[in-house]
Amino acid sequence: MGTFRGLIVYKKAFELAMEVFEITKSFPKEEKYSLTDQIRRSSRPVCANIGEGYRKRRYIAHFVSKVTDSDMENTETQVWLDFSLSCKYITNEVYNDKSAKCSEVGRLLQHLIRYPEKYGCGQQL
């Protein structure tokens, strides 16, 4: 069945988290412990929760709970992108790109939530 790293959603979420890290390097220093920290801290758990849930996929409820947490963190990342745009720390082009990637990750997470059996959930591993 592979590992969580082989999941398309994990790869896309990891890529987005790294892109968020790169764009936040240019945020003002006064945002270091607020917006910069918040957006980085919300983008990374998307991947971590996918990994945690995948390792416990024997238990459907646990898997769905962790993937739901990923979806929540992904939505939080979108909110911080909204603030980043409003504060003029990122361009419309960057915002649209990252926002589209958040939406794609969200759709993929929803697929995991709706169809956990397609990911080996509930089976003896």
Residue-wise pLDDT for 40-56, tens only, equals 999 999 999 999 999 99
Residue-range domains of the chain with CATH: 4-115 (1.20.1440.60)
Q: Is the pTM of this model over 0.85?
A: yes
- Average pLDDT on 19-33 reads 96
Q: At residue 1, does pLDDT exceed 90?
A: no
More confident residue, 120 or 76: 76
Q: What is the pLDDT of residues 3-15, one digit of tens each?
A: 999 999 999 999 9
- Cα(98)–Cα(75) distance, integer angstroms: 12
Q: How far, in Å, are 38, 39, 42, 78, 108 from residue 21 at the CA level?
A: 11, 8, 11, 14, 22
Query: What's the whole-number mean pLDDT along residues 97-109?
Result: 98
